[in-house]
């Protein structure tokens, strides 16, 4: 019960890493809003594990503000925000990625962090405490070819994490990030281009520990960084990657 009495919002929590984080937070005693653009998926996770399902478009300011307002109304002040929702473009040479795909990647992966901070940071400043966790990617640390603009968006996320940490520390707010290697999530096929045994073997050959990351791996790291055990840790971009970035 390491999050007993805490309130949390996890975006992109209808599947993959987000669902794993939401489930672990609930198991550790937190009240959790399970937010996702796929309302059915969010509700399914919430109904199974006891959270509060909510539909949100993290790239839309009004939708993000409504999420924060509803979470506050139903759970009280928010202690933890996990910015997990993310998208990628299909593997392609940088000049061949469409403008629409570029805009979508940066809206969901980057603008969402700004929108959530704009909506929630004033509340955290008023209470003098809070934890924000951004789910970035090893792509932002050690970029892969043909995922250029996705790489850049996750690099942005790591830089934003450090900048937020420095600015918000005097207000008692901690900000960290996790950099997972690809895992068994809905984005895996998009990263590889095609999900075949050959492509999986090629991808796994770049991970020294020899396996993909799992929702449980991310949940364990997220739990630590969002718990009071990490009260002296801020501005850290932790790699959860089986050695991928060594």
The CA angle 186-29-46, to the nearest 5 degrees, is: 40
Q: Quick check: 208 and 242 in contact, CB under 8 A?
A: yes
Q: Is 150 a catalytic residue?
A: yes
Give the integer Cα–Cα distance in Å for 67 and 19.
17
**Fold adopted by 7-240:** Rossmann fold (3.40.50)
Options 17, 106, 149, 150, the catalytic residue: 150
Q: Which two tokens stand for residue 121?
A: 């940071």
Give the integer Cα–Cα distance in Å for 195 and 188.
8
Edge-to-edge strand list for the sheet holding 173-180:
52-55, 31-36, 7-11, 80-83, 130-135, 173-180, 237-240
> What pLDDT tens digit does each residue of the chain (246 aa) get?
999 999 999 999 999 999 999 999 999 999 999 999 999 999 999 999 999 999 999 999 999 999 999 999 999 999 999 999 999 999 999 999 999 999 999 999 999 999 999 999 999 999 999 999 999 999 999 998 999 999 999 999 999 999 999 999 999 999 999 999 987 766 676 666 677 888 888 889 889 999 989 999 999 999 999 999 999 999 999 999 999 999
Residue with tokens 């980057």: 110
| Closest alpha carbon to 154 in 219, 225, 88 | 88
| pTM of structure | 0.94
Give the integer Cα–Cα distance in Å for 82 and 132.
6
């Amino acid at each position: 019960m390491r999050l007993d009495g805490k309130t949390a919002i996890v975006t992109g929590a209808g599947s993959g890493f987000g669902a794993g984080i939401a489930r672990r937070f609930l198991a550790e005693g937190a009240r959790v809003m399970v937010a996702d653009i796929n309302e059915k998926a969010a509700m399914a996770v919430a109904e199974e594990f006891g959270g509060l399902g909510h539909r949100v478009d993290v790239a839309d300011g009004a939708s993000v503000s409504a999420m924060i307002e509803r979470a506050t109304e139903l759970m009280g002040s928010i202690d933890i925000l996990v910015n997990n929702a993310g998208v990628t473009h299909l593997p392609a040479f940088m000049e061949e990625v469409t403008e629409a795909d570029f805009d979508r990647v940066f809206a969901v992966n980057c603008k969402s962090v700004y929108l959530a901070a704009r909506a929630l940071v004033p509340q955290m400043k008023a209470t003098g405490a809070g934890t924000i966790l951004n789910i970035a990617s090893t792509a932002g640390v050690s970029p892969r070819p043909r995922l250029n603009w996705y790489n850049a968006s996750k690099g942005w996320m790591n830089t934003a994490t450090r900048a937020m940490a420095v600015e918000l520390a005097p207000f008692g707010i901690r900000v960290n990030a996790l950099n997972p290697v690809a895992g068994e999530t809905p984005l895996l096929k998009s990263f590889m281009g095609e999900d075949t045994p050959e492509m999986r073997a090629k991808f796994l050959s770049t991970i020294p520990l020899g396996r993909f990351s799992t929702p449980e791996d991310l949940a364990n790291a997220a739990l630590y960084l969002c718990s009071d055990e990490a009260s002296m840790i801020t501005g850290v971009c932790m790699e959860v990657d089986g050695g991928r970035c060594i």
